[in-house]
Amino acid sequence: MSLDGDLKAWLPLAEKRARSFRPEPRLEHIGSVTKIGDGVVTVEGLPGAKLDELLAFDDGSKAIVLRVDESALGCVLLAGGEDLRAGARVQGTGDVLKVPVGEPLLGRIVDALGQPLDEGPAIEAGRFSTIDRPAPAIIDRDLVSQPLATGITAIDTMIPLGRGQRELIIGDRKTGKTAIAVDTIINQRDSDVICVYAAIGQKTASVNQLVEAVREHGAMDRCIFVIGASDALAGHQWITPYSACAMAEYFRDKGRDVLIVFDDLTHHAIIYRQLSLLLRRPPGREAYPGDIFYVHARLLERAAKLSRAKGGGSLTALPIAETQGGNLTAYVPTNLISITDGQIYLEPKLFYEGQKPAVNIGYSVSRVGGHAQAPAFKGLAETLKLKYTQFLELEIFARFGAIVDERTKAVLDHGRHIRTILRQPQYQPLSLAVEVALLLALDEGKLTAFDQNDTTRFKQKLAAELETHCPQVVTRINKTGLLGEEDRKALSAPVFDLVEKITAGHGATALAKDAGRSPGDAGNDGERA
């Protein structure tokens, strides 16, 4: 068909559309930028804008409203802003910020807006959720009764966590706070718990190292990493925990169990203080805005165990807070301690002495307590914290050279075995059965003749020994969390055998030293004779 023929066929259709066109007025809220700097924008000309409303700029930048005055809006940039200048047009969307949620996010690394940061394909999520949602009502919650195993013996035995709990990890810089959270994530590789990690203002290199550790030791396909990098906009870092919480709540509302880590809320408070001061909000204690307690309380209250009517899912929160010089009475730490259901305090002195994780048992507490502890620990861990605390007190006096009686010496020896058992390398969380076997060895006094090296060797070989001699018992304890009398006897046998092997090896080493030979030659005396 010729060009003229095409035009003749197209003209009637165009005329029909032109006759049916009815122009109608459309209301758009258009404002303009009057001031911009440090990630904060002042906008005029949007009288209908509301708090937390999402604004769109002509250059593609996005911002949310954090302050509403009579004649201007104080906004925080979330993305873009490089080419934004005073006088630029801005339009109100009439909606709040939403992020993608759902199964496509599992195994991915995303930013606070839900955009992928890894080398994977674009995320095609079928659902979006607002980043700020009200916490579940009291009537929609259930009791925290199911344990959340961390794989860290010091925590599982003396500071137990439950699904739906909020447990603060607090301590000075570089004392192993993130390591505890990462080990807890890695330990969920054999469970059904989905893990969400929110990095707030963390270095990219540190986050990459963390992701690789989970990829190597954990279940990456059930994890979501939400990154607000240290070089991102302040507003982007500020919304990171809210976006991560929205992604986690999707699975909780589906009846799943979810673990979320906020690393860390001290930096989040600093970012919020920075934005508030730039927005000319009145400062309060330590220059923080007056609503900093409300900001964190509203976030952490979203972690809960839901009732059966709401699906029975749970969201467990592990917020991290940093102290300065071990000062737990600073503004943000005291706020977070009062909001959460307990805290795990990491002491620098213990960390530098090599006691890792450096958990200070005296300052650490779980307000859920034994209600969420695995039943297998009942009876074995009831007096563990008391005995360890008594040991720490007696050790202080023993350092002064005081003469101790046999009973005190036995308490000190037992306490040293406890301390050795509580010492644990990073990225090596223990299964429930191994932890129970360690406590069983302590409870039955089978480590009495051991020194520190023997106890360490016993810990290293115990898991393989149990898998070799009683794999069915190990599987049953890990699955049910119960320790029956038959299972206790089944665990005691390989524990006793391993103690005998190490004791025999220790004796062979001593014999070889007395004879002036290497330990390997001690077993060849019959052949040499």
Contact indicator for 314, 146 with CB cutoff of 8 Å: yes
Tokens at 176, concatenated: 């192993």
Amino acid, res. 358: A
Instruction: Tell me the C-alpha distance between 2 and 344, whole Å.
Output: 81
Residues 364, 367, 372: CA angle, nearest 5 degrees: 110
Q: What is the CA radius of gyration of the chain?
A: 30
**C-alpha distances out from residue 130 to 10, 54, 95, 276, 331, Å:** 46, 11, 10, 22, 29
345: left (phi over 0), alpha (psi -120 to 50) or beta: beta
Tokens 């940093």, located at residue: 322
Kindly give the pairing relationship between strand 89-96 and strand 53-57.
antiparallel
Exposure class string for 444-478: b at 16+ Cβ within 10 A, else e = eebbeebeeebbebbbeebbebbeebbeebbebbb
Helix (H) or strand (E) holding 321: strand 314-323
Tokens at 190, concatenated: 């054999």
Instruction: Tell me the C-alpha distance between 145 and 176, whole Å.
Output: 27
Residue 281 a catalytic site member: no
Residue 107: phi and psi, rounded to 5, are 80, 10
Instruction: Tell me the C-alpha distance between 283 and 269, whole Å.
Output: 13
Tokens at 508, concatenated: 């062979």
Catalytic residue among 17, 273, 367, 407: 367
Kindly give the pairing relationship between strand 342-346 and strand 168-172.
parallel
The Cβ of residue 209 has, within 10 Å, a number of other Cβ atoms equal to 12
Instruction: Tell me the C-alpha distance between 110 and 116, whole Å.
Output: 4
Tokens 């209301």, located at residue: 27
Instruction: Tell me the C-alpha distance between 93 and 86, whole Å.
Output: 20
**C-alpha distances out from residue 161 to 30, 169, 314, Å:** 50, 12, 13
Instruction: Tell me the C-alpha distance between 117 and 123, whole Å.
Output: 11
> Three-class SS of residue 407?
helix
Contact indicator for 250, 102 with CB cutoff of 8 Å: yes
Burial of residue 140 (CB within 10 Å: 0-12, 13-18, 19+) is middle
List residues with catalytic annotation: 367
